[in-house]
Amino acid sequence: MDNLEHKQLTKEDYNRLPVYYCKHCGSLKIMTVPQGIAEDYCDDCGSTDIGKANIEIWLELQKTAFKPLYRERPVKQFNPFKNY
């Protein structure tokens, strides 16, 4: 057997994979920029303060360090161009 490299990642493997997240808002939508041009940045808030952690740590951070993204919805803004 020589195809060990193709073995499926288990959930545990997946949980150990590092993720990059925005230290400012907690988003995982980090845009990578070729090195030397600019820093990687958060697609949600534009911050370049990017941290690295595995998903379990990130989930803990979501509970403690950041406002839960899914719980707080932005207040709907009045749109003057929409016909009510």
Instruction: Select 3 or 64, whichever has its Cβ closest to Zn ion.
Output: 64
- Minimum CB–partner distance for residue 45 and Zn ion (Å): 3
- How far is 56 from 38, CA to CA, in rounded Å? 29
**Of the candidates 47, 48, 53, 61, which one interacts with Zn ion according to CB under 5 A?**
47
Taking the complex as a whole, the smallest distance from the CB of residue 7 to Zn ion amounts, in Å, to: 34
Distances in Å between the Cα of 70 and the Cα atoms of 2, 39, 52, 67 are: 44, 27, 21, 9
CB of 66 to Zn ion, least distance (A): 9
**69 is written with which tokens?**
């993204």
Q: Which two tokens stand for residue 14?
A: 């997946």
Distances (CA, A) of 45 to 3, 4, 50: 42, 40, 11
How far, in Å, CA of 15 to CA of 54, rounded? Answer: 6
Interaction of residue 62 with Zn ion, rule CB under 5 A: no
- The 3-42 site mask, x for binding Zn ion (CB under 5 A), equals -------------------x-xx-x--------------x
Q: Which residues of the shown chain bind Zn ion in the complex (CB under 5 A)?
A: 22, 24-25, 27, 42, 44-45, 47
